[in-house]
């Protein structure tokens, strides 16, 4: 292969190192003193090594040609990188060129390998969130989507510290992420703090170099917050019969709200109710629509009052399986129900009906166990539940029929007390 005038050929695989500018002949070797005393400009050392000097600094460049394409590879800054060190770096990459590889591409590959190796031992916070979430999501409802486990981290923490390495994170950075919402959105901030701490605990348990104490330290920096819990607006139980009369049973929203009042289940379970889930006077709500951790909830039986069964029979007679269909044949949405309540001027929310019933039960001496079981709450400790396995269906049937009688303005209340 023929080389250009002034070129120092470094390999026979299509790679050439150029030592001088075009037409200037062979470059004279530089010396450390010459480099120091030289003015601004390009100083050539031969073999493709060049110093681009400006003032008291400069940068070393290795210029070479491969497969007919000239390239310039930065080696480092002068005087941090001395002349002798720059020559050693040039010689290293010249050997890469001589064996037929592109020095710049080879350096990028090596850096990628180094980054991958570093990431194995010191992941970013965002990567660690992915690892922890993947390990936990099977225990979360809907694979974590329903409970929005990641949401506080994705919206408030990862945008601030997501790219930082776990070993590098400092309490001030976590403080910076949480401070904007610590007082204005305190419940969300607590979730973000708790889950950030979980990520650190899991990372430490997996052997990564981090300390959960930095999360606790950030919380101390954030300070105490006097936060009053805002309860979901609940219609007083004394006003439930009046509300019942306002709910239009000819609309899906009005009928679904009546169903929620009668059955006292949560909104997600009620809106998707189906005739095929009902046998006799018992509605079995599937576990996937019950609140709780994955694997720790089961189907929930709801005894239906006569008023609730009337709603079921209307749907069955119309040939519908879905009790409360929306415009597209899917269950009516929570937004539609909220808008309906706003339209009729009702301040109470669907979930608040459960509070209405619970207060009614308390004021009328309904058994604690029965009232709590009606609401689907867990009663007693783990050992107690191992032996007391009844779901109190018959007791609940009596109370719910009495509640329905009160709500609809029908028969007088008959209270069942299991004490």
Same domain, residue pair 269 and 198: no
Regarding whether 267 and 145 lie in a shared domain, the answer is: no
Residue ranges making up the domain that contains 139: 125-222
The answer to whether position 203 is within a domain reads yes
- The strand pairing partners of 416, in sequence order, are none
**Listed residue (119, 121, 120, 136) closest to 195, CA to CA:** 136
- For the ranges 218-232, 252-266, 296-310, the maximum mean pLDDT occurs at 252-266
Q: What is the pLDDT of residue 16?
A: 64
Shared-domain flag, residues 270 and 365: yes
pLDDT in tens, 327-339: 877 899 999 999 9
Do 335 and 193 fall within a single domain?
no
Say if residue 245 is in the same domain as residue 369: yes
- Residue 24 is predicted with a pLDDT of 45
State residue 132 phi and psi, 5-degree precision.
-65, -40
Integer Cα distance of 393 and 370 in angstroms: 9
Judgement on whether residues 134 and 12 belong to the same structural domain of the protein: no
Asked if residue 227 belongs to a domain, the reply is no
Domain end residue (candidates: 118, 134, 161): 118
Q: How far apart are CA 71 and CA 276, in angstroms?
A: 72
CATH number, position 38: 3.30.160.390
Whole-number average pLDDT of the chain: 84
With a cut of 90, say whether residue 86 has pLDDT above it: yes
Backbone region of residue 415 per phi and psi (left: phi > 0; alpha: psi in -120 to 50; beta: other values): beta
Q: Say which residues have a Cβ less than 8 Å from residue 103's Cβ, sequence separation at least 6.
A: 62, 64, 71, 73, 93, 94, 96, 97
Whether residue 293 sits in one domain with residue 163: no
**56 and 177 housed in the same domain:** no
pLDDT band at 170; cut points 50, 70, 90: very high
For 369-393, how does the pLDDT look when each residue is reduced to its tens digit (9 = 90+)? 899 999 888 765 554 444 445 678 8
Number of folded domains in the chain? 3
Domain boundary pick from 118, 150, 180? 118
């Amino acid at each position: 292969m023929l080389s250009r005038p002034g070129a120092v050929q470094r390999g026979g695989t299509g790679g050439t190192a150029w030592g001088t500018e075009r037409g200037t002949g062979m470059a004279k070797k530089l010396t450390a003193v010459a480099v120091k005393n030289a003015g601004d400009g390009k100083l050539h050392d031969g073999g493709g090594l060049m110093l681009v000097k400006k003032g008291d600094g400069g940068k070393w460049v290795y210029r070479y040609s491969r497969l007919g394409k000239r390239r310039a590879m930065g080696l480092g800054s002068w005087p941090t990188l001395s002349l002798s060190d720059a020559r050693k770096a040039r010689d290293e990459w010249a050997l890469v060129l001589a064996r037929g590889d592109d020095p710049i591409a080879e350096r990028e590959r090596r850096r990628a390998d180094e980054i991958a190796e570093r990431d194995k031992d010191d992941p970013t916070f965002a990567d660690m969130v992915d690892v922890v979430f993947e390990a936990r999501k099977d225990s979360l409802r809907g694979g974590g989507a329903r409970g929005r486990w990641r949401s506080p981290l994705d919206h408030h923490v990862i945008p601030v510290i997501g790219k930082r390495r776990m070993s590098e994170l400092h309490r001030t950075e976590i403080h910076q992420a949480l401070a904007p919402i610590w007082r204005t959105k305190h419940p969300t901030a607590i979730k973000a703090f708790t889950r950030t701490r979980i990520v650190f605990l899991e990372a430490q348990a997996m052997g990564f170099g981090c300390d959960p104490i930095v999360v606790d330290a950030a919380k101390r920096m954030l300070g105490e917050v006097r936060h009053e819990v805002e309860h979901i607006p609940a219609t007083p139980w004394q006003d439930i019969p009046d509300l019942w009369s306002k709910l239009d049973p000819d609309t899906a929203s009005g009928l679904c709200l009546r169903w929620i009042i009668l059955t006292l289940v949560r909104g997600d379970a009620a809106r998707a109710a189906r005739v095929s889930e009902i046998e006799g006077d018992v509605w079995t709500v599937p576990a996937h629509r019950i609140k709780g951790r994955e694997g720790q909830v089961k189907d929930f039986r709801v005894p239906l009052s006569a008023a609730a069964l009337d709603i079921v029979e209307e749907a069955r007679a119309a040939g519908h399986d879905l009790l409360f269909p929306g415009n597209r044949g899917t269950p009516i949405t929570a937004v539609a129900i909220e808008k309906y309540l706003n339209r009729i001027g009702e301040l109470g929310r669907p979930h608040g009906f459960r509070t209405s019933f619970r207060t009614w039960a308390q004021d009328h001496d309904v058994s604690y166990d029965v009232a709590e079981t009606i609401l689907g709450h867990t009663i007693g400790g783990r050992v107690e539940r191992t032996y007391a396995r009844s779901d109190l269906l018959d007791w609940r049937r009596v109370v719910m029929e009495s509640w329905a009688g009160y709500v609809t303005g029908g028969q007088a209340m008959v209270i069942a007390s299991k004490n």
